[in-house]
Amino acid sequence: MDPSEFRRHGHALVEWIADYLSGSERYPVLPRVVPGEVRRALPEHGPEAGERFDEIFADFERILVPALTHWNHPGFFAYFPATTSASGVLAEFLSAALNQQAMLWRTSPAATELEEVSLAWLRGLLGLPSAFEGVIYDTASISSLHALAAARQAAVPDVRERGLVARSDIAPLRVYCSEHAHSSIDKAVLTLGLGQSSLRRIPVDAEHSLQSHALRAALDEDRRAGIRPVAVVATIGTTSTTAIDPVNAIADVCRDHRIWLHVDAAYAGVAAMLPECASYFAGWDRADSIVINPHKWLFTPFDLSAFYCRRMEVVREAFSLVPEYLKTLEASAGARNLMDTGIQLGRRFRSLKLWMILRHFGAARLRSILAEHIRLAHEFAARVDEHPDFERLAPVPFAVVCFRANPRALHLGAAELDLFNQRLLDAVNETGEVFLSHTRINGAFVIRIAIGHLRTTGAHTRRAWELLSQHTAALAIAS
């Protein structure tokens, strides 16, 4: 592509993206396609001769756009938010052009040092002390994997040399988390060779928070049985209900047992910026490591997960491995080589988008957007609470509401109630105006609304409520 052609296509693309970002409401949130539709629309082999970009782009619009789930749609209320922003998109565009590969300081001084600076800014906004060194990974799953790898390294310092297989000299290792901890913690113990049976899930209380006295009892019991506890994962903002584990009490247990404390705040961590949320984060600064995902609720294009660690030297002990051809003198001169703090060698210039977003929005605006999302969630929760045919099933510390319809007049039993809510969710999602998802709480089917998009306003959450209450009434009449 010559420079003039690049300019032409580039300008057209910017036009397209500007329309997309401001007009994603034109599309149904969920695409109306069936499995295999995209695959069948595309040829089995790539072309032998290169094609014109116009033609490729026409197929992008014709085949791919109708099969997109619009995460940027202001009516996207499913799972957790993951919304982009114009400054983040521009940063990604630049990052692709610059193609920085920040394994060593030398291979990109800018990317290496900007990662340090932007994570320090974010750390300051979150109120964490500077003892936490930061590194960017792609996802929270990978951040938590690194946390538990470091915990394993701290517990078994020769694990690097000798592994864990067929060792009679070490007790079985165990990791603890709540019943509601994210599946990425299971995947981490699987990957680290600890086995899923090494993950002990601790019961929760009525608000779905880990019971710290049960944690202490489990650790004592395991020690007596000859098991070696290595880490506890506390969650601030669980995936199902955004419950908050009592981090301070858990930190006491970890201190007494001298084991690693990892805090998974992938979704909710950014809310630590808000003074009104401070109490939810009490004690998280006592953790050994913390993960927060700016790609969830900080308007950062996927992917960017921030990992903070008080003991990054243990992460380095676990992973640093420098082949001769990558040895440089700068490391001894105080330069950080990011390849030492993780599994992967090559790494993208992700800090560029975080830096541009933090600058372009400014802390005040970020705080006010997050606070508005929380306010909208409280407003929605109040509607649920006031309506005789709806009930709320969990507290709302952040911007997710868990609820279900329960039309009084129908006197539905547990199984019928699940079915009713499943039908309600399907009916509401079929409108294309909104997309909500579900979870199960104590076995019951529960609808979740997660508010967190840059362009979501009260009009969108009120419309979601209108659709839910209308379809509840219609389904109740039909049944």
Ligand X SMILES: *Cc1c(COP(=O)(O)O)cnc(C)c1O
Window contacting ligand X (CB under 6 A); options: 135-143, 146-154, 188-196, 210-218: 135-143
Does position 24 bind ligand X by CB under 6 A?
Answer: no
Does position 139 bind ligand X by CB under 6 A?
Answer: yes
Residues 174-193 that bind ligand X (CB under 6 A): 182, 184
Smallest gap from Cβ 448 to ligand X, in A, equals 12
Nearer to ligand X, 156 or 447 (CB): 447
Window contacting ligand X (CB under 6 A); options: 100-108, 263-271, 323-331, 412-420: 263-271
Does position 241 bind ligand X by CB under 6 A?
Answer: no
Nearer to ligand X, 291 or 424 (CB): 291
Nearer to ligand X, 29 or 266 (CB): 266
Window contacting ligand X (CB under 6 A); options: 188-196, 233-241, 323-331, 448-456: 233-241
Does position 266 bind ligand X by CB under 6 A?
Answer: yes
Contacting residue, 87, 112, 209, 239, with ligand X by CB under 6 A? 239
Does position 235 bind ligand X by CB under 6 A?
Answer: yes
Contacting residue, 71, 132, 267, 281, with ligand X by CB under 6 A? 267
Does position 240 bind ligand X by CB under 6 A?
Answer: no
Does position 437 bind ligand X by CB under 6 A?
Answer: no
Nearer to ligand X, 399 or 468 (CB): 399
Nearer to ligand X, 156 or 204 (CB): 204
Total site size for ligand X, rule CB under 6 A: 14
367's tokens:
């705080």
Contacting residue, 84, 107, 240, 293, with ligand X by CB under 6 A? 293
Nearer to ligand X, 74 or 237 (CB): 237
Contacting residue, 80, 105, 299, 307, with ligand X by CB under 6 A? 80
Does position 140 bind ligand X by CB under 6 A?
Answer: yes
Contacting residue, 305, 337, 429, 461, with ligand X by CB under 6 A? 305
Residues at the site binding ligand X, with contacts judged by CB under 6 A: 80, 139-141, 182, 184, 235, 237, 239, 264, 266-267, 293, 305
